[in-house]
């Protein structure tokens, strides 16, 4: 009979199922029922009333015992314990998640049943393993969304994430990504030990010190690579065009990332501002560097957003407010509910009207793309480099009670002209590829090209004419290369130079 009752309530309410299971199977409840019947009979007999006091006392003990057994039963099934003061302590919130009414429509009874079996029978179901299972279930729930930008951070990972946004952590300054067979460098933070040692995006890390990390989870690989400042780590790197793996020895440092660095480019009067991330202090730092360059009366500015994976949306809006006129749209944010669509406007603070060339590459994403396309939509900048990453989603962090964190996609963003770029990216006005020798000679071909284009724009005072002229020169250059001819001084474009122009303070 209990089997049919249990199955009837399985999909309706797991809590009712627990009550049925407890009361049907519990012997104390049956004893309590017998005592109650005897007590009723004794109270009807005047001569045996004094015996009823004994049974009343026993009945009270049974009630106390029943309550204690109920808490213990729930504790085994949902991991709730009772402390010495009598108050209930929840060991971890996973049980509340699994058994809550709001979750019952998503988490089926078989998932809860599977958890019960594991909790009751798995060998050495220790606290450490509980945390792993808890993290695994939450991570699996997020993974089921099939959104690579939504993620679950454990306590340590959450700390590392916020350290990166704050621009203060210890390590080598390389952002790595997970691959089924290896760990690959996704981007390298500017001015970091990784950057100084020559590590580039796309490098495959085969080994950290003596540990092979092929197929390892990103979090585990990070734990091996990131460590205290002034310690040494040896990385075995494979680079596709190099052919064979080679070793890099890097000294970890305390990386206080100046998310913005500005300078006047060596050998020219052009301004240069590089942003490594859209962090907490980036907006303020950008304005300081921009104002510093303007006091030096630079005729044009190169904004470098290469390898900038984004950050805070409001920081992108703050930076755009230095170039886009007040009250013009800079980004449109759309949620599932159309009534919650939000448009962010430029604050128009101290508008700067100067030619801008913006550098971007495959790792320029999110907030970087918001800035790039807003400047493109308003014809305020020429985009140079490679097509951007193509991330148009907005994530919001949701801290959990134990210090872990969920970062979930809550909206999509669109350009001021209502364009979406998810998975597409932003095509630059002028696309520039690095060549093999550029990496060997540390030659920044894209930056050199940006300087040439900005110089031409300052002279022509017309961005479209500048772009068209450069593209025509590129066609001629390629035709000459195909014909085996050599270039003469009749076409003077800095991108063909063999020198390098590096920023300085």
According to the model, what pLDDT value does residue 183 have? 86
According to the model, what pLDDT value does residue 299 have? 97
According to the model, what pLDDT value does residue 471 have? 92
**Stretch 256-263: mean pLDDT:** 83
**Which of 247, 282, 248 minimizes the C-alpha distance to 262?**
282
Q: Check whether 47 has a pLDDT greater than 80.
A: no
- Strand, coil or helix: 175: strand
**Stretch 321-329: mean pLDDT:** 94
- Determine the Cα–Cα distance for residues 266 and 243; give it in Å rounded to an integer: 34
- Determine the Cα–Cα distance for residues 112 and 78; give it in Å rounded to an integer: 10
Assess contact for 395 and 411: CB atoms under 8 A: no
Taking residue 484's Cβ as centre, other Cβ atoms within 10 Å add up to: 6
Q: Check whether 400 has a pLDDT greater than 60.
A: yes
Locate 275 and state its tokens: 């942003």
**158-209 pLDDT tens trace:** 877 776 665 567 788 887 876 767 788 877 876 788 888 888 878 889 999 9
Pseudo-torsion of CA 164, 167, 172, 177, nearest 10°?
30
Q: Which long-range contacts (CB under 8 A, 24 or more apart) does 28-34 make?
A: 28/62, 28/65, 28/66, 28/69, 29/66, 31/62, 32/59, 32/62, 32/63, 32/66
What is the 8-class DSSP label of residue 236? Answer: E
**Stretch 435-445: mean pLDDT:** 81
According to the model, what pLDDT value does residue 468 have? 94
Q: Check whether 229 has a pLDDT greater than 70.
A: yes
- Determine the Cα–Cα distance for residues 90 and 102; give it in Å rounded to an integer: 19
- Per cent of the chain over pLDDT 90 is 31
- Determine the Cα–Cα distance for residues 345 and 323; give it in Å rounded to an integer: 12
Q: What is the pTM of this model?
A: 0.64
Lowest mean pLDDT among 130-134, 374-378, 460-464: 130-134
**Stretch 151-160: mean pLDDT:** 83
**48-103 pLDDT tens trace:** 555 656 666 666 666 666 666 665 655 554 444 434 343 334 343 445 545 554 44
Name which residue leads in pLDDT, 135 or 78: 135
- Per cent of the chain over pLDDT 70 is 71
Positive or negative torsion for Cα 142, 144, 150, 153: positive
Lowest mean pLDDT among 24-28, 226-230, 381-385: 24-28
With vertex at residue 383, the alpha carbon angle to CA 380 and CA 385, rounded to the nearest 5 degrees, is 165
- Name the average pLDDT for the chain: 78
**3-18 pLDDT tens trace:** 333 333 443 444 555 5
Q: Check whether 131 has a pLDDT greater than 90.
A: no
For the 260-504 domain, the top CATH level (class) is alpha beta
Give residue 36's Cα distance to chain centre. 61
Q: Check whether 444 has a pLDDT greater than 70.
A: yes
- Strand, coil or helix: 138: helix
- Any idea which fold 168-255 has? Pdz3 Domain (2.30.42)
């Amino acid at each position: 009979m209990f089997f049919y009752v249990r199955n009837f309530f399985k999909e309706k309410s797991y809590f009712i199922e627990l009550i049925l299971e407890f009361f049907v199977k519990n012997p104390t409840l049956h004893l309590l029922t017998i005592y109650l019947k005897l007590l009723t009979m004794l109270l009807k007999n005047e001569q045996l009333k004094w015996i009823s006091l004994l049974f009343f006392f026993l009945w009270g003990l049974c009630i106390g015992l029943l309550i204690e057994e109920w808490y213990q039963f729930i504790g085994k099934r949902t991991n709730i314990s009772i402390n010495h003061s009598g108050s209930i302590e929840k060991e971890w919130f996973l049980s509340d998640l699994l058994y809550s009414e709001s979750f019952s429509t998503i988490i089926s009874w078989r998932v809860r049943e599977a958890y019960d079996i594991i909790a009751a029978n798995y060998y050495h179901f220790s606290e450490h393993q509980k945390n792993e299972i808890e993290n695994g279930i939450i991570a699996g729930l997020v993974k089921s969304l099939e959104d690579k930008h939504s993620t679950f951070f454990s306590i340590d990972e959450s700390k590392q994430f916020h350290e990166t946004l704050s621009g203060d952590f210890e390590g080598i300054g390389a952002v790595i990504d997970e691959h089924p067979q290896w760990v690959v460098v996704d981007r390298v933070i500017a001015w970091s030990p990784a950057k100084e040692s020559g590590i580039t995006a796309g490098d495959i890390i085969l080994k950290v010190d003596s540990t092979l990390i092929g197929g390892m989870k990103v979090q585990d690989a990070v734990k091996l690579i990131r460590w205290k400042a002034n310690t040494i780590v040896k990385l075995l790197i494979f680079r596709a065009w190099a052919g064979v793996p080679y070793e890099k020895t890097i000294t970890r440092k305390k990386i206080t990332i100046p998310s913005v660095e500005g300078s006047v480019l060596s050998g020219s009067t052009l301004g240069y501002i590089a942003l490594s991330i859209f962090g907490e202090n980036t907006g303020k730092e950008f304005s300081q560097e921009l104002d510093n360059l303007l006091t030096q009366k630079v005729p044009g500015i190169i904004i470098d957003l290469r390898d900038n994976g984004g950050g805070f949306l409001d920081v992108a809006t703050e930076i755009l407010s230095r170039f886009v006129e007040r009250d013009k749209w800079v980004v449109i944010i759309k949620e599932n509910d159309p009534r919650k669509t939000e448009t962010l406007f430029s604050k128009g603070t101290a508008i700067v009207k100067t030619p801008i060339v913006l550098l971007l590459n495959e790792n320029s994403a999110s907030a970087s793309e918001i800035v790039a396309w807003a400047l493109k939509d308003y014809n305020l900048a020429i985009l140079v480099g490679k097509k951007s990453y193509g991330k148009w989603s907005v994530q919001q962090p949701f801290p959990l009670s134990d210090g872990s964190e969920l970062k979930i996609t809550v909206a999509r963003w669109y350009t001021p002209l209502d364009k979406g770029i998810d998975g597409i990216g932003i095509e630059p006005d002028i696309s520039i590829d690095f060549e093999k020798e550029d990496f060997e000679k540390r030659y920044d071909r894209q930056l050199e090209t940006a300087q040439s284009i900005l110089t031409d724009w300052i002279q022509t005072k017309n961005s479209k004419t500048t772009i068209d002229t450069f593209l025509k020169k590129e066609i001629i250059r390629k035709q000459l290369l195909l014909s085996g001819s050599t270039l003469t001084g009749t076409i003077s474009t800095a991108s063909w130079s063999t020198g390098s122009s590096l920023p300085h303070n």
